[in-house]
Amino acid sequence: MAAAYIQDETEFNTLLETELVFVVDCTATWCGPCKLIAPLIDQLAQEYGDRAKVLKLDLDANQPIAKRFGIRSIPAVMLFQQGELVETIVGAKPYEEFSNAVAKYLA
């Protein structure tokens, strides 16, 4: 099961309000390192799907969200807890770094 894409800012804002733990992979079709971590984000969605919402966000289509959170380089994986940005992991990292981060906010 692959992580789905957030369609727009309205959906993003709804998820912020409703999800306890919400993970957003900020990506773009032209970004090489983003393609490297895409399968890891899908794996994260599978592993934590019942406890956390794991989604992808195409920054080219959602510039306002990138500006709002000061995303300057991608891939950037943002973790939200109860609507608050608690951590941002920038760059291609090993799966453990993403899964440990998610697990920390589920505890």
User: pLDDT per residue over 47-103, tens digit each?
Assistant: 999 999 999 999 999 999 999 999 999 999 999 999 999 999 999 999 999 999 999
pTM score, whole prediction = 0.96
Q: What is the domain range of residue 51?
A: 9-106
Do residues 24 and 78 make contact, with C-beta atoms less than 8 angstroms apart? yes
Side-chain-side CA neighbours of residue 14 (13 Å): 6
Q: Please indicate, yes or no, if residue 4 is contained in any of the structural domains.
A: no
Which member of 31, 44, 65, 74 is catalytic? 31
Q: Please indicate, yes or no, if residue 2 is contained in any of the structural domains.
A: no
Q: Please indicate, yes or no, if residue 84 is contained in any of the structural domains.
A: yes
Does the annotation count 26 as an active-site position? no
Q: Please indicate, yes or no, if residue 85 is contained in any of the structural domains.
A: yes
Structural domains of the chain, count: 1
Query: d(Cα 16, Cα 83) in Å, to the nearest integer?
Result: 5
Unique residue bearing structure tokens 């981060």: 101
Q: What is the CATH number of the domain that holds 59?
A: 3.40.30.10
Does the annotation count 34 as an active-site position? yes
Q: In degrees rounded to 5, what are phi and psi of residue 77?
A: -110, 115
Q: Please indicate, yes or no, if residue 93 is contained in any of the structural domains.
A: yes
Q: Please indicate, yes or no, if residue 39 is contained in any of the structural domains.
A: yes
